[in-house]
Amino acid sequence: YNFQLMRYIGEDGVAAFSVIGYTAMIFAAIFMGYALGSSPLMSYQYGAQNHREMRSILLKSLGFIAIGSVFMFLAAEWLAEPLSAIFVGYDPALLEFTAGAYRIYAVAFLIMGVPIYASALFTSLNNGVVSAIIAFLRTIVFECGAVIILPLIWGIDGIWVSVSVGEFAAAVLSIVFLVALRNKYGYTKKAVIADALNGGND
């Protein structure tokens, strides 16, 4: 990122991205905190083979992520300038540039909750390989690839958009794994009905 920022923008670009990176961690921490906090609940129900509770936790988690994503996106759009002003308020031009970049970057908050949760979910289901694949591709492959390619197409804006593109690719991958492995882990409606018919967990 620093290499691309210096190449296309210069020191102001690095300063702007640093501001965004520091404050964006606050938003991402909400998703990470929820994902890590809900993992033991899912892990326990998986060990007990309580498919009803597994499905309930999954659906509630996806609902929380969906609502939280919209809320954080709107909050980031609204707070872009105040947050940027904390760090670069001494320079009006840099402040305007950083706030504008922040509003583009904020689109990532609509998406990042899915791969963050999915990675933690598969860890709780004792599938470290899938969890590692999601985490590795999300940060190293998708985002780095996007920040190299997109500026060639969109110039400076491609740098800010690259995070959203990387998160989107990781979210799609996460959904593919969630769907493909649904029968293996039994967080489907079909598994819940089967448990009820067989006199399983209530």
**One pLDDT digit (tens) per residue for the chain, 202 residues:** 888 999 998 999 899 999 999 889 989 999 999 999 999 999 999 999 999 999 999 999 999 999 999 999 999 999 999 999 999 999 999 999 999 999 999 999 999 999 999 999 999 999 999 999 999 999 899 999 999 999 999 999 999 999 999 999 999 999 999 999 999 998 888 878 887 777 655 4
Neighbours of 82 (CB within 10 A): 10
Helix axes 156-180, 92-105, angle to 10 degrees: 20
The answer to pTM > 0.75 is yes
* pLDDT, tens digit, 9 for 90 and up, residues 171-187: 999 999 999 999 999 88
- Residue reference for tokens 């707070």: 79
Euclidean distance between CA atoms 21 and 116, whole angstroms: 17
Q: Is the dihedral of CA 79, 81, 84, 86 positive or negative?
A: negative
pLDDT of residue 202: 45
Tell me how far CA of residue 42 lies from CA of 17, 94, 99, 144, 199, in angstroms.
36, 45, 39, 31, 21
